[in-house]
Chains A and B, each alone.
Chain A
Amino acid sequence: MDANTALLAVVVVTALAFDFTNGFHDTANAMATSIATGALPPRAAVALSAVLNFAGAFLSLKVAATIATGIVDSGAITLTVVFAGLVGGLAWNLVTWYFGIPSSSSHALIGGVAGATLIAVGASAVKGAAIVSKVLIPAVLAPVFAALVATAGAFLVHRITRGTPGAVRERGFRVGQLCSASLVSLAHGTNDAQKTMGVITLALVADHAIAPDAGTPFWVILACAVTIALGTYTGGWRVIRTLGKGLTEIGPPQGFAAEGSSAAIIFAATHFGLPLSTTHVTGGSVVGAGLGRRLAGERSEVRWGLAGRMVVAWLVTLPAAALVGAAAWKGADAIGGTGGAAVVFAVMLLLAGGLYLAARREPVTHANVNAEWTGRLVPVKEPVG
């Protein structure tokens, strides 16, 4: 194995690690509301979502989208840049997971790649206009669109079923919620697993392992599908709790309205080629569903403080991941070669291990994910017995 092949291997492993965090970070997007309303037991929900993500990864009829190519000059993309970009995205995903903040994995990845390119080649290689039109503007629009649609949906749903007996209403909306959440999971597998496939393909092309116009090799598709499904099954319980319990109290009608809105907007945005982040859409939908319920004259509280913190995190995602991406490139470049990338990867593993241990001190799991929201992510421990 020559040095370049070893570096390529490190890049592929990092990409799959990113894919894994993409999975567990985004389980919440599809399943948080179903878990919060009890439409499915927590572990069954993440298992269903995992299976659908796996299936979704195979579903797309289009070649894997190369996420970074429109954002930076394709000539600037070397293996080290791809690697550093992945590290930036990975680090941001891990930190936001620890704090239970739903944040966009694609933005983290784009930020990481942009940061690495900035320091490796210079500002000229980063397409500023593309970042504004493909990243920043969609990030503002996604939650607004989703909130609008979900508000309308939740309002209508509450009005229409006002006289419907509680039992039919609860059961009916739970079934509906399951179906719409399944659609979101499937869409997530299709869109997000593809991003990692694109990155690995990009690395293979940069290393001349495959021809530039070659399609994604099957092993890449399979590896990405398996990894994102495993990540999803692990269940990012901290993020699920914020989205399902923190933002607003979700009953089956709002849960259904929120997932219906998310699914419709993600489908439409994918179809028309508007790059909206699933995470931003889901966050907006959940808030909108809370608003719609209130509009229909029922008691409902949206915790704006928490929603505000989420929006701040979304704004910080790009620069923060860029900073880490730049640092990762600098570090790998200073040490040089495969060894440099390996050292940066080891530092990354230390960060992951540290956050994992810190999270274990105050765990959020399938067992306490639905505990009453008391203003903080980690539920107050109930006395045993």
Chain B
Amino acid sequence: MSQYIDFAVLWKVLLAGLLGGAGLVAVYALGLAALAAGRVYDTPDRGSGTSAARAAGTVVAVACFGLVLAGALLGLYVMLTK
């Protein structure tokens, strides 16, 4: 079988896929959750709305989105320079 399947490549693709495709996706979701957590919404019991919480939420969100952006750019780069 191994003459047909390059296992060394397979697990790399799967690992990179999981890191980028599920990991970064989850980080983006974390960013959204953080962004929302610090803000006041019409719904009761959601978001305390204190300015400290807001700032903290925004910082976490920016960090998350930055990480996702960096990951996407890295992915694009490694694909093009294959």
Contact = CB atoms under 8 A, between A and B. Distances in A.
B29 interface: yes
Interface in A36-69: 59-62
B20 A263 contact: yes
A257 B25 contact: yes
A306 to B, nearest CB: 23
Contacts of B20: 260, 263-264, 267-268
A273 B29 CA distance: 30
Nearest to A256: B25
A267 B12 contact: no
A257 B79 CA distance: 20
Interface string B40-65: 01010011000000000000000000
A228 interface: no
B79 A270 contact: yes
Contacts of B3: 129, 133
Given A145-B17, A274-B9, A153 B81 contact: no
A349 to B, nearest CB: 36
Contacts of A180: 72
Contacts of A167: 41
Interface in A322-346: none
- Does more than half of chain B's interface fall in helix, strand or loop, or is it mixed? helix
Contacts of A160: 26, 29-30, 33
Interface residues of A, number: 54
Given A61-B80, A156-B29, A267-B79, A150 B9 contact: no
Most chain-B CB neighbours within 10 Å: which of A179, A262, A266, A267? Answer: A267
A21 B3 CA distance: 34
B32 A164 contact: yes
Contacts of A263: 20-21, 72, 75
B16 A264 contact: yes
B17 A261 contact: yes
A163 to B, nearest CB: 7
A312 interface: no
A165 B43 CA distance: 8
A79 to B, nearest CB: 30
25 contacts: A59-B80, A132-B4, A133-B3, A133-B6, A137-B5, A149-B17, A156-B29, A161-B32, A161-B33, A165-B41, A168-B35, A169-B36, A186-B76, A190-B79, A190-B80, A257-B22, A262-B21, A263-B20, A263-B21, A264-B22, A266-B79, A268-B75, A270-B79, A272-B9, A273-B9
Interface of B: 3-6, 9-10, 12-14, 16-22, 24-26, 28-33, 35-37, 41, 43, 46-47, 72, 75-76, 78-82
